[in-house]
Amino acid sequence: MHHDPLLLGGGFRHTENDRVKSWWRRNPSRQRTGMAGDRDLSWKTLSDLPDVSQALNSLLDQFAEIGVDVAAISADTAEKAETEAKEEGGLFPVGHSLTLDQMRALGLYVSNPRSADETDRPFPEPGLLVVNSEGKVQIIDISNAPFARPDLNSILKGVKFIQEKRYPIRGTLA
């Protein structure tokens, strides 16, 4: 079975998942229309969201059953992203070092930290991209607030529906 990555975050550099790196290099414009996906997902950093890691961990086997590889993406440094991923107990790869240009290319909202305790650099607000085996975004959910995130069970059901019905990419007239 062919597996495509499920990305949670923005754009990233992650040495453990060559398929995701390859997808990123092949799609330099990351246009919101014309990208499709049954299997890639993108989100924000996991630093303040242990419930997101736990929710995703509980669905990893189900995503794997339908050929979906999961990864999260962060604008944090490699050291901070790896430390926080371990602390949060994520069982999936976490990319790091997302740049402002990459955040913008993905259409993510970008915020400055409210304090040095939050982070030391601008960061992306939540975004979720489901990218199909053709390297095109099939589903996109972007928020400007950390507490407005899609239900991962609904995403799982949606990806299954897309795969079973060969459901087309929607919203391409915007």
Is residue 146 within 8 A of residue 125, CB to CB? The reply is yes
C-alpha 9/C-alpha 15 separation (Å) is 16
Residue 104 CB partners (closer than 8 Å, separation 6+): 110
Beta pairing class for 4-8 and 68-73: parallel
* Residue 93: closest CA among 16, 37, 25, 39: 16
Q: What structural domains does the chain harbor?
A: 4-165 (3.40.30.10)
**pLDDT in the model for residue 165:** 96
- The tens digit of pLDDT for each residue in 22-67 reads 444 444 443 333 333 333 333 333 333 457 888 999 999 999 999 8
- Write down the pTM of the prediction: 0.72
